[in-house]
Amino acid sequence: MKSIAVVILNWNGKGLLEQFLPSVMSHSEVAAIYVADNASTDDSIAFVKANYPAIHIIQNNGNFGYAKGYNDALANVEEEIYALVNSDVEVTEGWLEPVIELFEQDPETAIIQPKILDYKNKTHFEYAGAAGGFIDKYGYPFCRGRIFDTIEEDNGQYDDITEIFWASGACFFIRKDVYRELAGFDEDFFAHQEEIDLCWRAFNLNYKARFCHKSVIYHVGGATLNSINPRKTYLNFRNSLWMIVKNVPALQLFPVLFMRMLLDGLAGIRFLSKGQAAHFGAILKAHFSFYIKFFHFINKRKSNKYKNYYKTKSIVWAYFIKGGKVFDKNFNNSL
């Protein structure tokens, strides 16, 4: 059996560690377990040392966010498979074995996501990943089980092992060798959508990401930065633009960027119409940040490795205009 490391990134998260480490410890007998700490100022690491001496602790020397936090920590982890798990995740019995089996059966599979259900409403999918992610032509991510704010009940409709485009960073399995080949997450992102960028870069190198329904976890979501925080809006819009510049095929790049900026403008107007001026300002700030670093990200492109990446042309059109509120396996480029 391939060796596996469960790596939990922590920053001032003692309460979450108290709540969720017991499930990880109970159901991860086949794994080495690590807590990677982003220079916490609370006593979370003292708590881990006192209560879970078997856990390996990696101490980063700053709060580096998700991307650099994991990059620095994983330089010290040598197991063959990484399971990157948010600190607000409850795992279930047998969650690791189907994933390890899938990696062993299919050498082309580099990334795997489990079924992610909502810890607060366990009959429903959770926003961050649900039953596996896809992306539209203009860089908008969506999931089987979650499109924009519409979240489906889990009735077994996605109980399969299937290829997806991206896996959620809430619980993200990746082969160590592939992670290192890709030089890990893009540290410019800090947090949000860096896992989609990593999956996109893996896709461009012909690696596969898969969803494995036999592995089930429950995610709180928003425990570190909730959905109504303008900071999250800023990071999502900024990082999405950066991701497009890095990964969209050259002939499509500027048309896609132009349309994406128009759609971002409409999103900003929608925020204003709902009295959410701070989120409108976050989109403006995101665009200014994008302009400032545009050529920096152009220089990150790998020009000869691009493939068609999107499952549907516009999830915005499909959702808001055509009323497609749930994932349709027949989504195609004509939407």
Q: Is the pLDDT of residue 100 over 60?
A: yes
Neighbours of 102 (CB within 10 A): 18
- Same domain for 259 and 168: no
Tell whether 319 is covered by a domain: no
- Same domain for 139 and 263: no
Q: Is the pLDDT of residue 333 over 60?
A: no
pTM of the predicted model as reported, rounded to 2 decimal places: 0.94
Q: What digits encode the pLDDT tens for the residues 165-181?
A: 999 999 999 999 999 99
Confidence at residue 222, expressed as pLDDT on a 0 to 100 scale:
62
Q: Is the pLDDT of residue 9 over 60?
A: yes
**What residue numbers bound the domain in which 159 lies?**
4-219
- Same domain for 23 and 164: yes
Tell whether 322 is covered by a domain: no
Residue 334: which pLDDT band, with cuts at 50, 70 and 90?
Answer: very low
Residue 304: which pLDDT band, with cuts at 50, 70 and 90?
Answer: low
Query: Rounded mean pLDDT of the chain?
Result: 94
Tell whether 82 is covered by a domain: yes
- Same domain for 73 and 103: yes
The Cα 278–Cα 229 span in angstroms is: 9
Q: Which residues face 115 on adjacent strands?
A: 216
- Same domain for 169 and 88: yes
- Same domain for 240 and 200: no
Tell whether 126 is covered by a domain: yes
- Same domain for 132 and 61: yes
- CB–CB of 209/203 below 8 Å? yes
Q: Is the pLDDT of residue 270 over 50?
A: yes
Closest CA to 143 of 159, 119, 154, 127: 127
Give exposure, 163-194, as e/b (b: 16+ Cβ within 10 Å).
ebbbbbbbbbbbbbebbeebebbbbbbbbbbb
Q: What digits encode the pLDDT tens for the residues 58-97?
A: 999 999 999 999 999 999 999 999 999 999 999 999 999 9
- Same domain for 93 and 152: yes
User: How far from 296 is each of 65, 196, 243, 293, 301, CA to CA, in Å?
Assistant: 20, 19, 12, 5, 10
Ramachandran quadrant class, 16 (left: phi over 0; alpha: psi -120 to 50; beta: rest): alpha
Tell whether 210 is covered by a domain: yes
Contacts of 91 (CB under 8 A, 6+ apart): 23, 24, 27, 28, 85, 217, 218
Tell whether 335 is covered by a domain: no
Which ranges constitute the DSSP H helices of the chain?
14-26, 44-51, 65-74, 97-105, 176-181, 194-204, 230-247, 250-273, 277-292, 294-298, 315-316
Q: What percent of the chain has pLDDT over 90?
A: 89
User: Which of 187, 219, 251 marks a domain boundary?
Assistant: 219
For the chain, the helix, strand and coil percentages under 3-state DSSP, each to the nearest 5: 40, 25, 40
Give the residue-averaged pLDDT of 307-334.
Answer: 83
Residue 4: which pLDDT band, with cuts at 50, 70 and 90?
Answer: very high
Tell whether 161 is covered by a domain: yes
Find the angle CA(10)-CA(203)-CA(330) to the nearest 5 degrees: 105
Give the residue-averaged pLDDT of 129-147.
Answer: 96
- Same domain for 166 and 247: no
User: Which of 167, 187, 219 marks a domain boundary?
Assistant: 219
For the chain, the domain total comes to 2
Q: What digits encode the pLDDT tens for the residues 194-231?
A: 999 999 999 999 999 999 999 999 999 864 545 578 99
- Write the DSSP string, 149-189: TEE-B-SSTT-SEEEESB--TTEEEEEHHHHHHTTSS-GGG
Structure tokens at 12: 């001032």
Which residue type sits at 216? V
User: Which of 185, 219, 253 marks a domain boundary?
Assistant: 219
- Same domain for 172 and 256: no
Q: Is the pLDDT of residue 245 over 60?
A: yes
Confidence at residue 221, expressed as pLDDT on a 0 to 100 scale:
84
Confidence at residue 202, expressed as pLDDT on a 0 to 100 scale:
95
The single-letter DSSP state of residue 317 is I
Tell whether 194 is covered by a domain: yes
Dihedral sign of CA atoms 261, 247, 200, 287 in order = negative
- Same domain for 149 and 277: no
Q: What digits encode the pLDDT tens for the residues 271-292?
A: 999 999 999 999 999 999 999 9
Contacts of 239 (CB under 8 A, 6+ apart): 189, 192, 193, 194, 197
- CATH code for position 37: 3.90.550.10
- Same domain for 124 and 13: yes
Q: What digits encode the pLDDT tens for the residues 32-58?
A: 999 999 999 999 999 999 999 999 999
Give the residue-averaged pLDDT of 229-253.
Answer: 94
Q: Is the pLDDT of residue 126 over 70?
A: yes
Q: What percent of the chain has pLDDT over 70?
A: 95
